C-alpha cells in the first residue's frame, strides 16, 4: 500500500510541474502577443 501511495504522489507532483510549465508558457506567449499588439498601435 505504501509503494502505490508514493508512486501516486510522485505522479501528482510531476503532473503539477508539467501543468505549471504549460500555464507559464501560455502566459508568456500571451504577454508577448500583447506587446506586439501594443507596438503595432504606436
| Cα–Cα distance measured from residue 12 to residue 39, given in angstroms and rounded to the nearest whole number | 41
pLDDT of residue 13: 98
pLDDT of residue 34: 80
Domain count, the chain: 1
Residue 42 structural domain: 1-42
Burial 30-39 (b: 16+ CB within 10 A, else e): eeeeeeeeee
pLDDT in tens, 17-41: 999 999 999 999 998 888 777 777 7
**Count of H-run helices and E-run strands, the chain:** 1, 0
pLDDT in tens, 13-23: 999 999 999 99
DSSP state of 42: -
Amino acid at each position: 500500500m505504501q509503494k502505490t501511495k508514493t508512486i501516486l504522489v510522485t505522479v501528482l507532483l510531476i503532473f503539477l510541474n508539467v501543468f505549471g510549465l504549460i500555464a507559464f508558457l501560455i502566459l508568456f506567449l500571451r504577454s508577448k502577443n500583447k506587446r506586439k499588439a501594443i507596438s503595432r498601435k504606436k
